[in-house]
């Protein structure tokens, strides 16, 4: 697999600290867990709050694939090493729902923190949870669009701020740095785990909606 070089390569690649840590994280995802990854577009070096992609209205600045595109995501160690050798500060982007990789359910950070506390109180088992400054994402087992549609149709109410990262979607993973800040593990995979355990999407959506409703926290529509 070869990377397609783009016009805006200077903006996509910012050399600096963090290269070994990011490459190590990308290799762990790709080779140990068999999660397809690719480098994301970096934040604009001339304006950290802006994205390095051509879209001036980018809604996920510094946290999405651009060059190469999402279809280039791979578990090949040689490709991963080549990418992060050339782009050492690139965010690690997971192609959700591809090749057995997990999908995710995300919601705004504050309601997410309260929902997780409520789920802990109930004793519900969760897998890894990714925390970005604005949103947290709960990793779940891969699901189909038909499965998701049936799940949502059966519910009386689902907060509009819930987002679903399924096949064809993506998610920035730790320790990526985006234009909005650092991405970290709120619930990290167990060290040395062959493949992190993740719950089913039905259990997570049911529990999150119930937790938000019971605690009186309705996530804002954002």
Q: What is the pLDDT of residues 97-145, one digit of tens each?
A: 999 999 999 999 999 998 999 889 889 999 999 999 999 999 999 999 9
pTM: 0.86
The mean pLDDT value of the chain amounts to: 85
Domain ranges of the chain: 17-215
For 16-25, 29-38, 139-148, 180-189, which range has the lowest pLDDT when averaged over its residues? 16-25
- Tell me whether residue 19 is exposed, middle or buried, using C-beta atoms within 10 angstroms of its C-beta: 0 to 12, 13 to 18, 19 or more: middle
pLDDT one-digit tens code per residue, 154-202: 988 888 889 999 999 999 999 999 888 999 999 999 877 788 999 999 9
Q: At 142, give phi and psi (nearest 5°).
A: -60, 145
The token pair at 184 is 């970290």
CA 11 to chain centre: 22
Distance between alpha carbon 196 and the CA centroid of its chain, in Å?
Answer: 15
Calculate the CA 204 to chain-centre distance: 16
Q: How far apart are CA 74 and CA 77, in angstroms?
A: 8
Q: What's CA 109's distance to the chain center, in Å?
A: 14
Question: What is the per-residue pLDDT for 210?
Answer: 84
Q: Please give the span between the terminal C-alpha atoms of the chain, in angstroms, as a whole number.
A: 37
């Amino acid at each position: 697999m070869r990377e397609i070089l783009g016009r805006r390569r200077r903006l996509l690649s910012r050399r600096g600290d963090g290269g070994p840590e990011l490459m190590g994280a990308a290799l762990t995802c790709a080779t140990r867990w068999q999660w397809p990854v690719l480098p994301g577009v970096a934040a604009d070096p001339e304006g950290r709050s802006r994205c390095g992609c051509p879209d001036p209205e980018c809604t996920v600045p510094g946290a999405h694939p651009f060059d190469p595109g999402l279809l280039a995501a791979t578990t090949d160690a040689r490709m991963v090493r080549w990418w992060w050798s050339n782009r050492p500060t690139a965010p690690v982007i997971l192609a959700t729902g591809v090749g057995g990789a997990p999908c995710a359910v995300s919601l705004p950070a504050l309601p997410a923190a309260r929902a997780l506390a409520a789920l802990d109180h109930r004793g519900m088992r969760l897998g890894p949870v990714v925390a970005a400054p604005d949103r947290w994402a709960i990793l779940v087992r891969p699901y189909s669009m038909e499965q998701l549609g049936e799940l949502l149709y059966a519910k009386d109410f689902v907060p509009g701020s819930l987002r679903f990262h399924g096949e064809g979607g993506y998610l920035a993973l730790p320790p990526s740095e985006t234009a909005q800040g650092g991405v970290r593990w709120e619930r990290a995979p167990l060290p040395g785990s062959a493949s992190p355990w993740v719950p089913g999407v039905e259990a997570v959506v049911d529990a999150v909606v119930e937790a938000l409703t019971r605690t009186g926290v309705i996530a804002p529509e954002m």
